[in-house]
């Protein structure tokens, strides 16, 4: 019986890919005052940015309830007795706890493994896709869980923001706000380390930031999967994908859009990449070699 794969909507997995791989997505909630919307169900990306730019109320987000996860698990338990649920990093949200609590009502009828991805957006997305491919290939739940745990430390992100305005309003990025809050005349770059969104440097212009994203991809080892993510600039995302596709001849880059839940915090203009390094090649790379390649850009080093 095929292992069922669950994630949340902050994974930003393109809908057609989720459908093809049988991935079930639990939506996060977006709130504008008293009005509540389910991420990508009741509100689209375009509707979010229209409301953000033109409306008087800045939106907030809230996690799915344990009951939301229970409902999904119960439905999938009618089709399978094994579920792997991979969710947004616990360092940035209580969503992981909701997923854990949500399985309690179902765990006697179905084995459910809930895993903290330690990632966001298509970092979480690429980890979930790897799990779904393993499940579709007929792998056991233990092997699917192993694939996820192997993918987590090999999945990396780098993005450039157009403005810190929405990060500051959202108040969800901790260190990024503290370190970059007063430097609104530059383009902040963010990455994720140990499950926490942190600064990855500063770019004096957007084009310099995109150059650093290209360098980031160039310095990665044996890329297995890569996604270009954007919030409001599809042409720019496709241009970046064309630029870097020669660096990953094995697979074409995915193009994904930041959904409303993460768009609340990133705002318009975000552009970045998420990549997953291959297992066999990564195991051959020594720590000294990895540091020499400088996969992660120096924190707060400004591009000239």
**Within its chain, how far is the Cα of 302 from the centroid?**
25
Residue 304 scores a pLDDT above 50: no
Q: Which of 83, 94, 158, 95 is nearest to 128 (CA)?
A: 83
* pLDDT for position 136: 97
- Name the more confident of 108 and 273: 273
pLDDT (0 to 100) of residue 168:
72
pLDDT at 176: 47
pLDDT at 297 over 60: no
pLDDT at 279: 65
Q: Which tens digits make up the pLDDT trace of 136-170?
A: 999 999 999 999 999 999 999 999 998 877 877 76
Per DSSP, what are the bridge partners of residue 35? Answer: 32
Label residue 100 exposed, middle or buried (CB < 10 Å: 0-12, 13-18, 19+): middle
- According to the model, what pLDDT value does residue 75 have? 97
> Do residues 213 and 186 lie in contact, with contact meaning Cβ atoms separated by under 8 Å?
no
Q: Give yes or no for a contact between 296 and 213, defined as CB atoms under 8 angstroms apart.
A: no
pLDDT tens digits for 160-209?
998 877 877 765 555 444 455 455 568 889 999 999 988 888 898 999 99
Q: What is the DSSP letter of 43?
A: B
Cβ atoms of 90 and 116 within 8 Å: the answer is yes
> Which residues, other chains included, contact 8 with Cβ-Cβ below 8 Å and sequence gap of 6+?
25, 26, 27, 28, 64, 87, 88, 95, 99, 124
Task: Report whether pLDDT(298) > 70.
Answer: no
In this predicted model, what pLDDT tens digit does every residue of 48-68 receive, in sequence order? 999 988 878 889 999 999 999
What domains lie within the chain, and their CATH numbers? Answer: 4-152 (3.40.50.10170), 154-295 (3.30.1180.10)
Count CB atoms within 10 A of the CB of residue 67.
Answer: 12
The residue with greater pLDDT, 287 or 234, is 234
pLDDT greater at residue 287 or residue 190: 190
Pairing type for strands 254-257 and 155-160 reads: unpaired
State how far the Cα of 105 lies from the Cα of 278, in Å rounded to an integer.
Answer: 36
Q: How many CA atoms lie within 13 A of 264 on its CB side?
A: 25
Residues 113-126 pLDDT 10s:
999 999 999 999 99
The DSSP symbol for 34 reads T
188 vs 38: CA distance, rounded Å: 29
């Amino acid at each position: 019986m095929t292992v069922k794969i669950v994630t949340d909507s902050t994974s930003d997995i393109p809908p057609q890919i989720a459908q093809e791989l049988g991935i079930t997505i639990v939506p996060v909630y977006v709130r504008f005052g008293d009005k509540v919307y389910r991420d990508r169900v009741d509100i689209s990306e375009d509707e979010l940015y229209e409301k953000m730019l033109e409306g008087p109320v800045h939106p907030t987000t809230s996690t799915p309830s344990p009951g939301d996860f229970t409902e999904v698990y119960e439905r999938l338990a009618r089709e399978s007795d094994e579920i792997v649920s991979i969710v947004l990093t616990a360092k940035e949200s209580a969503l992981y706890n909701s997923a854990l609590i949500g399985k309690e009502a179902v765990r006697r009828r179905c084995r459910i493994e809930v895993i903290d991805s330690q990632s966001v957006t298509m970092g979480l997305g690429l980890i979930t896709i790897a799990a779904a491919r393993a499940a579709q290939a007929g792998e056991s739940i233990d092997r699917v869980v192993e694939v996820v745990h192997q993918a987590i430390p090999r999945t990396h992100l780098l993005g450039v923001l157009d403005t810190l305005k929405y990060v500051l309003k959202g108040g969800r990025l901790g260190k990024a706000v503290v370190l970059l809050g007063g430097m609104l005349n530059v383009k902040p770059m963010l990455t994720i380390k140990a499950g926490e969104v942190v600064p990855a440097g500063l770019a004096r212009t957007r084009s310099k930031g995109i150059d650093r994203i290209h360098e980031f991809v160039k310095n990665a080892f044996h890329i297995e999967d890569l996604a270009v993510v954007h919030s409001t600039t599809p042409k720019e995302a496709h241009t970046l994908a064309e630029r870097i596709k020669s660096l990953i001849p094995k697979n074409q880059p995915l193009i994904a859009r930041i959904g409303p839940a993460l768009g609340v915090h990133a705002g318009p203009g975000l552009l970045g990449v998420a990549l997953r390094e291959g297992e066999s090649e990564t195991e051959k790379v020594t720590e000294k070699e990895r540091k020499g390649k400088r996969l992660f850009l120096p924190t707060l080093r400004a591009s000239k």
